[in-house]
Amino acid sequence: MSRVRLALAQLPAPEAPSRLLPLLRQRCEEAAADGAHLLLLPEMWSTGYASAKMSAAHAWSDDAPVLAEVARLAAELGLAIGLTYLARRDGALRNRLRLHGADGSIVLQYDKVHICDFTDGTETALQGGDGFACADVALGGETVRVGAMICFDREFPEAGRALMRQGAELALVQNACPMREDAELGDVRLQQLRGRALENRFAVALCNYPAPQYDGASCLIDARGRLLAAGDRRPGLLLAELDLVELRRWRAEQDEVWGEAALRPSCYR
C-alpha cells in the first residue's frame, strides 16, 4: 500500500480524567473503522493544555496505568496512536509525545524542546527536551520515517531542519494555539508551517484544538507545502491520505536543491 491514512482528532480534552480513555477509545474505533493507520491528538491532551493543570498533580509517570491502556488500545485496533501529555520523570515536568505503533509498542517518544517558559507563558514549570527524534514506523504496510514537533517547536526553522537531517518523511505536530485566526498574526502560523514542509521536503500532519479553545485548522501538508486537507473550527475527526510514492519521488528529485548537501553550515552565523 502506497498511501498512509491519518486521523487528526481535533477534539477538546475531557474535563473529567475518567472520561479520557472512553473518549479516546470511541474516536480510535471510528478512525480504525475508516481505515486510518495513525491517530493524532492535540498538544497535551491529558490536561487540555490548561494553565491551571501545569503541575505534578496532573502529570503522568512513564508507567502510568492510562499509558498502558493506550498501548493496549493501539494493539487491539491495529492503529498507531500519538498522544501528548504532561509527563513526570526524575522530579521534572515535561510536555511529551508518546507514539504507540499499531502493535502497541512505543515507537517514538519526544519531549517538547521549545517550551513556552517566557513571561506569561503556560509552561514555566516545565523542563524542555534535549533534542529532536525520528523513528521508522510501520503504517499501512509501509515503513515511514516519522519525527515530531510540538506546537511552539514548529516556529523555529532549526526544529524542522533537525528532523530533515534525521531523514524525516512525516512530521507530527501536536498543537495548542490559533493557526488561522490569530488576532495579530492571522494565518501566518499555517503559512509558516507550509514553508517548513517545503524547505525540509517532508509532509506535516498537525492536530489542534477546536473552537472555542483555539481555532481548529488541523491539517495535512505535503512536502511541496501544499495543503492536502484542513479542518474547520468545529470538533471532529479529520481523515486525510498521504501518497508515499509521490512524497518519495519529490524528495528524491529535490534532494540536490534542498537536501543536506545543499547546506552551508559554516556560513550560518
Q: What is the pLDDT of residues 182-223, one digit of tens each?
A: 999 999 999 999 999 999 999 999 999 999 999 999 999 999
Query: Would you give the distance in Å from CA 176 to the centre of its chain?
Result: 11
Look at residue 265 and tell me whether its pLDDT is greater than 90. Answer: no
Confidence (pLDDT) at 232: 97
Confidence (pLDDT) at 261: 87
CATH number of 3-263: 3.60.110.10
Confidence (pLDDT) at 251: 96
Confidence (pLDDT) at 269: 84
Look at residue 268 and tell me whether its pLDDT is greater than 90. Answer: no
Confidence (pLDDT) at 241: 98
Which residues lie closer than 8 Å to 165 by C-beta, 6 or more apart? 260
Q: For residues 54-67, give the mean pLDDT.
A: 95
- Side-by-side strand order, sheet with 134-139: 134-139, 142-150, 170-174, 203-207, 219-221, 227-230
> Does the predicted model carry a pTM greater than 0.85?
yes
Cis bond upstream, residue 14 (ω within 30):
no
Higher pLDDT, 2 or 100: 100
In degrees, to the nearest 5, what angle opens at C-alpha 126 toward C-alphas 105 and 212?
85
Cα 223 to Cα 230: distance, rounded to the nearest angstrom: 15
